[in-house]
A = this chain, B = another copy of it.
């Protein structure tokens, strides 16, 4: 395992120490070492945006803390949910009295811990509402959306929800638009090589060289099929074939496209995949309003990419275009 850690059991602690040092212009630690918050949180009168999840997905989750995006994040062990206490403390750090929008991904541990944290919050009169991201098309059939996982499309949910809150939206308005963003987003991943959690020391799933796993999850959850390794164009075609009919995305739609590397796939190759994705969309009359390519939601040093597509309406477009300043996503508005 060719990795740069100290005691692997303290990798998250060590990472957080460095992370807070580097991004002190944006975020700060809190009393709970597993909760980070926007330096100005709670922002008076503003709905607080909270998320959380396992570590190992940088920039997700703490990398999306910042102006016009997320206010507080609960940090878990690598690939494990944060505790209920961490979510609860994140709610408290982000709460200015206007309520909390907890926007997180559909995983058993996160569901359980957010639910418990909400009970704790209720006792302290903090209003918390949730949106549970389920953009991963490959993780369950379309008629079982409650079984679908959240993956890189969560970034759109945080972007849009965070922008709406910054514009003064009420809790119900923020929840409604974040829900719309995730309902309008479909994602799929393709894995080319597995990853190793440092404290484990070997991969806990395998991808045979010469093959790729279509529909793989962010933690190596099995996909829908194992295929011979395709070209970048073929990978783009396989992914759009899965995503486009599911929404469905149709001629005349305007979309945002995110190709995120899973960690070790060179960014160069992500642009090659993107190039074909945009061609396919153009052939179908679907217009790309904005696109992102890079390591936006990773899984340690896994190889592969996820593709996420968000269907826009005027409200979503305005919120997507809004200026944002986080570690993981910085965007100027001219």
A273–B2 contact, CB under 8 A?
Answer: no
Interface size class of A (residues with CB under 8 A): 35 or more
Q: Which of B4, B5, B22, B272 contacts A4 (CB 8 A)?
A: B272
**CB contact list, A295-309 vs B, under 8 A:** 295, 298, 300-301, 303, 305
Chain B residues with Cβ below 8 Å from A28 are none
Q: How far is the CB of A307 from chain B (nearest CB, A)?
A: 12
Chain B residues with Cβ below 8 Å from A6 are 231-233, 272
A231–B5 contact, CB under 8 A?
Answer: yes
Q: How far is the CB of A240 from chain B (nearest CB, A)?
A: 14
Q: How far is the CB of A188 from chain B (nearest CB, A)?
A: 14
A301–B267 contact, CB under 8 A?
Answer: no
Nearest first, the 8 A-B pairs at minimum CB distance are A18-B275, A18-B271, A264-B264, A330-B330, A2-B192, A4-B269, A58-B267, A18-B274
Known: A292-B22, A293-B18, A332-B325. A4 touches B273 (CB 8 A): yes
- Whether A251 is near chain B, meaning CB under 8 Å from some CB there, is no
A269–B5 contact, CB under 8 A?
Answer: yes
* Per-residue contact bits, chain A 1-29, to B (CB 8 Å; 1 contact, 0 not): 01111100001001111110110000000
Q: How far is the CB of A191 from chain B (nearest CB, A)?
A: 9
A120 vs B264: C-alpha distance in the bound complex, in angstroms?
40
Known: A192-B4, A233-B6, A266-B58. A15 touches B271 (CB 8 A): yes
